[in-house]
């Protein structure tokens, strides 16, 4: 969950309909599946049913849909007809992948849509639709294998929207898996927010924060490279990484032992190998890594390989920072990078005194 340290403060603001918190947080209501702005006029949810998010996008990715009353995606005073039309169109068919042809059918100009969305919400309409779609697919992972098993048992009746949403992102629908290899995906709640883990029976293939930019493409690439379908479920590497992550966040673990499977180019593999050599509590610069892989001028390629890492935390790409000491970027968000580094520093200091 996001913003957990501030939960009490935000809940108070929510009850008070405090307009100073507009844009500071959004609240997802677990019982209704909608998310609201702090000043929503609707009856307020119970504390235990609230999840708080810093941005509308995060709420969408957690599978909440925008509230009809406070319209958290619109500017408080003004929302254009076009924006409203598109948000409604997504809600009618949230699993759809939007193309320019769809815009034409709604008699909407794609570039106007892009501009207006960006201005209002800081994301384009396509990003909005995507976040909503991924949110729905991830929800099925969160709710676990029972859902999909039920679907398989029932011979896969269509019309639930479930199959479409899930298979667009995760690959072939279960009924069509045939000879494909199967990877399983689980939703892991960590103290830095939800993560998704994908593994077969032998090794972990992917571990990412759910909100990571480009997650959908990563999963697509993974299933193409492995010729797999990804379905909700758990395997022993997932159970192992779940328990190791718990220990890591509790400060009890310094070395991950869950077997990993990486599928990078020879150069990427070399970079990732170097990343795993950066000790806990320490950082390296992109230039350091470039030197270590004997390509001292290739720090840009190193940065790219770093960003292509699909095993967050375990392959510690967060330990690579800029040469001038700035944190640099992080797919899971810079505040997470900062947290991880300070957590590891504390842990390493402890190790020395033990
Ligand atoms: Zn509302």
Q: How far is the C-alpha of 246 from the C-alpha of 250, rounded, in Å?
A: 6
The pLDDT score that the predictor gives to residue 207 is 96
Average pLDDT, the chain: 81
pLDDT value for 179: 56
Ligand 1 center from residue 29 Cα (angstroms): 9
pLDDT in tens, 138-182: 666 665 544 444 444 333 333 345 455 555 556 554 445 555 677
Map residue 126 onto helix, strand or coil. helix
Closest CA to 213 of 307, 337, 318, 75: 307
Neighbouring residues of 297: CB distance < 8 A, sequence distance ≥ 6: 290
CA-CA distance, 99 to 89, in Å (whole number)?
13
Domain ranges of the chain: 4-66, 77-179, 262-353
Q: Tell me the pLDDT tens digit for each residue of 225-264.
A: 888 777 777 899 999 999 999 999 999 988 999 999 999 9
At 350 the pLDDT is 81
Nearest alpha-carbon partner for 45 in 15, 21, 25: 15
H or E stretch including 267? helix 266-275
Distance 305 CA to ligand 1 centre (A): 42
The helix or strand, by DSSP H or E, that contains position 53, with its residue range, turns out to be strand 50-53
Instruction: Please state which CATH number belongs to domain 4-66.
Output: 3.40.10.10
pLDDT attached to residue 139: 66
Which of the residues are catalytic? 317
**pLDDT beneath 70, residues of the chain:** 1-5, 74-79, 95, 120-122, 136-180, 353-354
- Is there a shared CATH topology between the 77-179 domain and the 262-353 domain? yes
Q: How far is the CA of 57 from the centre of ligand 1 (A)?
A: 16
Q: Which CATH number fits domain 77-179: 3.20.20.140, 1.10.10.60, 1.10.230.10, 1.20.120.640?
A: 1.10.10.60
Positive or negative: CA dihedral 77, 80, 86, 92: positive
Q: Return the CATH fold of 262-353.
A: Arc Repressor Mutant, subunit A (1.10.10)
Is residue 122 packed enough to be buried (19+ CB in 10 Å), middle (13-18) or exposed (0-12)? exposed
């Amino acid at each position: 969950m996001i913003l957990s340290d501030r939960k009490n403060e935000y809940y108070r603001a929510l009850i008070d309909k405090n307009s100073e918190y507009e844009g500071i947080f959004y609240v997802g209501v677990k019982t209704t599946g909608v998310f609201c702005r702090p000043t929503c006029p609707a009856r307020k949810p119970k504390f235990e049913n609230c999840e708080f998010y810093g941005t509308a996008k995060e709420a969408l990715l957690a599978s909440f849909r925008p509230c009809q009353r406070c319209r958290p995606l619109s500017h408080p005073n003004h929302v254009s007809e076009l924006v409203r039309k598109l948000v409604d169109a997504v809600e009618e068919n949230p699993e759809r992948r939007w193309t320019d042809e769809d815009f034409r059918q709604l008699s909407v100009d794609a570039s106007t849509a892009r501009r207006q969305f960006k201005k209002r919400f800081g994301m384009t309409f396509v990003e909005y639709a995507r976040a909503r779609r991924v949110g729905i697919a991830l929800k099925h992972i969160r709710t676990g294998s029972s859902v999909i098993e039920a679907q398989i048992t029932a011979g896969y009746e269509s019309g639930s929207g479930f199959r479409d949403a899930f298979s667009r992102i995760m690959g072939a629908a279960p009924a069509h898996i045939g000879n494909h290899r199967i990877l399983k995906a689980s939703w892991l709640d960590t103290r830095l927010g939800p993560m998704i883990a994908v593994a077969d029976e032998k090794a972990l293939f992917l571990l990412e924060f759910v909100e990571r930019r480009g997650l959908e493409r990563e999963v697509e690439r993974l299933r193409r490279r492995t010729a797999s379908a990804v379905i909700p479920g758990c395997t022993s590497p997932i159970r192992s990484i779940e328990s190791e992550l718990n220990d890591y966040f509790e400060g009890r673990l310094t070395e991950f032992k869950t077997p990993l499977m990486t599928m990078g180019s020879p150069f990427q593999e070399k970079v990732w190998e170097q990343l795993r050599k950066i000790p806990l509590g320490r950082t390296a610069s992109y230039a350091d890594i470039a030197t270590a892989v004997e390509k001292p001028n290739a720090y840009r390629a190193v940065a790219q390989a770093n960003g292509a890492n699909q095993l967050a935390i375990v392959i510690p790409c967060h330990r690579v920072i800029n040469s001038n000491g700035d944190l640099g970027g992080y797919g899971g968000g810079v505040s997470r990078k900062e947290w991880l580094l300070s957590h590891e520093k504390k842990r390493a200091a402890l190790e020395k005194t033990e």
